[in-house]
A and B are shown apart, each in its own frame.
Chain A
Amino acid sequence: MPTLETTFAGIPCMNPFWLASAPPTNCGEQIMRAFDAGWGGAVWKTIGEPITNVSSRYSSIDWNGQRMMGLNNIELISDRPIEVNLREISEVKRRYPKHVVIASLMVESNRQAWHDIVQRAEDAGADGLELNFGCPHGMSERGMGAAVGQVPEYCGQITEWVKEKARTPVIVKMTPNISDIRMPARAAKLGGADALSAINTINSITGIDLNTLEPRPNVDGKSSHGGYCGPAVKPIALNMVQQIMSDKQSALPMSAIGGIGSWQDAAEFILLGAGTVQVCTAVMHYGYRIVEDMSDGLLAWMRKMGFETLDDFRGVTLPKVTDWKHLNLNYKIVARIHEDLCIGCELCYTACWDGAHQCIHLDRAMAEPNISRTPAMVTAESLGRISSTPIAKLDLNGAGELGAQRTPLARIPRVDEHECVGCNLCSLVCPVPDCITMERIDNDIPSETWDERMSTGTVKAAAHSGKKH
């Protein structure tokens, strides 16, 4: 039986699922309910001098009828007194000694203030500390949060101050609002950080109300850029986690954050080297109960893959992410449309013509291949065709022609494999799983990368400019 138990920067964890420092970890009562639901740990909503929040605070991006593809917030750190948060940390740890409680901290950038808050958080019983160098709104205007994370020197300096005092592991939370996340990560590592967490939220404006012309979230007619999170940011987070974990000067135990809401998301971050994962938006959307399937699904996948522990697959995919110049230029795949699965929506056809390389054609029912028939010609032919309501007695074949169970051959697109560049687009837009597969063409040409071509002198960097980008 596989296990989800793991150790993160020396902290024993019953599972890798932590709640990120955010509204779901605002108080002890919430965190205890979360632990009851199955969360292995929680990073307390950032503790510091209490702030005053605005209302409203959140806004979101919906997509094709689905709510909250991305969420944005302009909420600040905890608005509760430090002593109340610390008292509740003690209570939670007393009642849930095996669960991980991390104190997220943010105070003004002076050594004594950091020493004091570190001491108090650890005295309260926190298992570790997370330094919030990522908050992108409000706090950054006061010289804290992302204002620290964006300047590697500050990042390293404060980490050093904290490490002077800390007895528990110190996790530095990184901001993605920076050109190269490895710079502050290296500084944190040099400053003595025990672990990193990434990413914090991304600077964003979620939208504008088209009736009032006011931005969202609306605070008395105005708004401010907020932190973007949720499913939409996962690819950005995966990239940043990979950048840090592939960089020897940055790599540390990683608590990954960014759009995680399912066991698949968790598995992907762990494959790129994460030790634990932190979740916020998915819980804000659906509640603590989602952790059940995150655990259950991850264990089932591990069983299927033959992994006993998280360490068995942690970082396994990292070496497979490389620079473009190391990719095999002679690897060739083409799209294959499986006629028996095709439902005839022709989305691959229109995508290939308008968005790719014009190599999918609607000519299966024609006497010979026809690659010059354009989409406009196809629609014009259909609109010119007279159709009428089939009546069984009068149109014996009417129902047959419309027969919904079989896709007419004329509607099943054909890939011109000679012209197909193997871009994947058709298989991405196809609504039917496995209907379009990308298949390798064995061309017997040995692997060759751009880097190799450059080093062997096959091409000269300056002379070459691709016609398509």
Chain B
Amino acid sequence: MTEPTNFFSQAPYAPDLAERFPDLHPPLSRSAALTEANRCLYCFDAPCTAACPTHIDVPRFIKKIASGNLEGSAKTILDANILGASCSRACPVDVLCEGACVMHRYNKQPIEIARLQRFAMDELHESGAPLPFVPGVETGKSVALIGGGPASLACAAELRRRGVRAEIYDARPLPGGLNTYGVAEYKLPLAESLREIDLLAQLGVEFHFNTPVDVAMLAELEAKHDAIFLGVGLGAIHQLGIAGESLPGVNNALDYIADYKSGKLTSAPKRVAVIGAGNTAIDAANASVRLGAIEVHMIYRRGPDQMSAFAFEYEHAKQEGVKFLWHVQPVAIHGNGTVEALELARLEATSDGSLVVQPGTNFELSLDMVILAVGQSTHTNFLQDGKVKLERGHILIDRITGQTSHPKYFAGGDCTNGGREVVDAVADGKRAGIGIAAWLEGQNANA
């Protein structure tokens, strides 16, 4: 019943992808890594470690690069963060470890922690060495993990290390969730996400693909397993509710990114507009440029100060040639059989912060494609009413253990935090894995 675990070889064939999406942050050579590693001050109680949601012992893994103990370096990273390779590429380190580096206050150049971490992980992968951990002594307990994204993967790793069976159920044909399908290819190539999960599979994590979980199946899993981990992420991208939204040529950012990453989509039309100004919106806009669009606009109701994308993502989009239209709101999508134009209205902010349409300011933007990136809905309808407590669609958890209001259910990642980073999901999953194992042990003791 467990499917083959050489996921890396199953990466879809996507010609030209690597050329169109070369690494935004290229790997460090061995000598560059050594020089950079030696620059690290080896802080005590290091702020980079505190800033990392998974608390990777950064000075320790860097010191090991400097000493030539590369195996120990990778182990240090993986011990705290089982998706250390993915996170080294996908993390917004400017606001995490590198943002916290004391070097900002010294010679102004923070240690390149992410690239050093990638170096250590690349070296491990190249060495062909197995994951430096072994499964714990089997306890006979088992956990079903719903969703195969970073939260479930991290949770599963902790469970396996504690001898608990971990079965992941995922609606997609390959594991990794947004880690595989949703991170801009120039940050984290799809194949790299899979390569890392291959290592994880060595711990004996079991996978069930193409298996969406509905109410009935959930009941089945609940009966069969000792605990359930919900790592389902978020749902579909919101609709705008305007005319023309169902025209061919209207896409959503998540599908768009997943399609180009998996080779289903290999080019973009000339003129593209992305609605929204979050990090995913920027990923979609940059991807359109890389895929051949000549004119890419981002459409946002407010100004640059209010956009939810990180400042460095905004800078990156500008470098890619993406144009921004601020204080405008889509009114309708026009087209005869396919998207031809987007009608926009200008907005003005009132004193209370609300936005008011300025009458008579409507204008049209000629277009070939519209990509929606205005946030995701929640994906919790398979949870019967009251099974676990929700707040605005997000699953409420105890942050230390990941336990929900239903003691047998634990949760983590985007479905609990509303949508954050891969590393946040890994941290959630890790805490939940430890939490579940402790809870199961407690159940044993009580029995």
Contact = CB atoms under 8 A, between A and B. Distances in A.
Contact of B106 (A343, A349, A362, A383): A343
Contact of A387 (B38, B51, B105): B51
A390 B95 contact: yes
A394 B105 contact: no
At the interface, is chain A mostly helix, strand, loop or mixed? Answer: loop
Smallest CB-CB A-B distances: 4 pairs: A65-B38, A404-B104, A346-B44, A350-B44
Interface in A417-452: 431-432
Nearest to A66: B38
Interface stretch (A138-146, A282-290, A314-322, A374-382): A374-382
Interface in A338-366: 343-347, 349-350, 362
Interface in B177-194: none
A407 interface: yes
Given A386-B399, A398-B95, A405-B104, A347 B44 contact: yes
Given A387-B51, A388-B424, A404 B101 contact: yes
A367 B16 CA distance: 60
Nearest to A351: B44
Nearest to B99: A402
Contacts of A391: 308, 420
Nearest to B100: A402
A2 to B, nearest CB: 33
Interface string B69-103: 00000000000000000000001100110011111
A392 interface: yes
Interface in B382-428: 399-400, 417-418, 420-421, 423-424, 427
A402 B42 contact: no
Contacts of A432: 106
Contact of A393 (B308, B399, B424): B308
Contact of B105 (A347, A385, A398, A407): A407
Contact of A389 (B35, B53, B66, B110): B53
A80 interface: no
Given A65-B35, A65-B66, A402-B51, A378 B45 contact: yes
A432 B102 CA distance: 11
A428 to B, nearest CB: 14
A429 B431 CA distance: 36
Interface string A288-324: 0000000000000000000000000000000000000
B277 to A, nearest CB: 11
Nearest to B308: A393
Nearest to A399: B95
Interface of B: 34-35, 37-38, 41-45, 47, 49-53, 55, 66, 91-92, 95-96, 99-106, 110, 306, 308, 310, 399-400, 417-418, 420-421, 423-424, 427, 431
Contact of B420 (A64, A350, A388): A388
Interface residues of A, number: 35
29 contacts: A65-B35, A65-B37, A343-B103, A344-B47, A344-B102, A345-B41, A345-B43, A346-B44, A347-B41, A347-B44, A350-B44, A375-B45, A378-B44, A383-B49, A383-B55, A385-B50, A386-B53, A387-B52, A388-B53, A388-B424, A389-B420, A389-B423, A402-B95, A402-B100, A404-B100, A404-B105, A404-B110, A407-B102, A411-B45
Contacts of A398: 95
Contacts of A65: 34-35, 37-38, 66
Given A343-B106, A346-B44, A389-B91, 19 more contacts: A64-B38, A65-B66, A345-B41, A345-B43, A345-B44, A347-B44, A349-B44, A378-B45, A379-B44, A388-B420, A388-B424, A389-B421, A389-B423, A392-B310, A399-B95, A402-B100, A404-B110, A405-B105, A406-B105
Nearest to B49: A382
Residue in B45, B49, B95 with the greatest tally of chain A CB atoms within 10 Å: B45
A343 B427 CA distance: 28
Contacts of B96: 389
Nearest to B105: A343
Contacts of B92: 389
Given A350-B44, A378-B45, A387-B53, A64 B66 contact: yes
Contacts of A379: 44-45
B42 A347 contact: yes
Interface string A192-231: 0000000000000000000000000000000000000000
Residue in B34, B51, B91, B418 with the greatest tally of chain A CB atoms within 10 Å: B51
Contacts of B103: 343
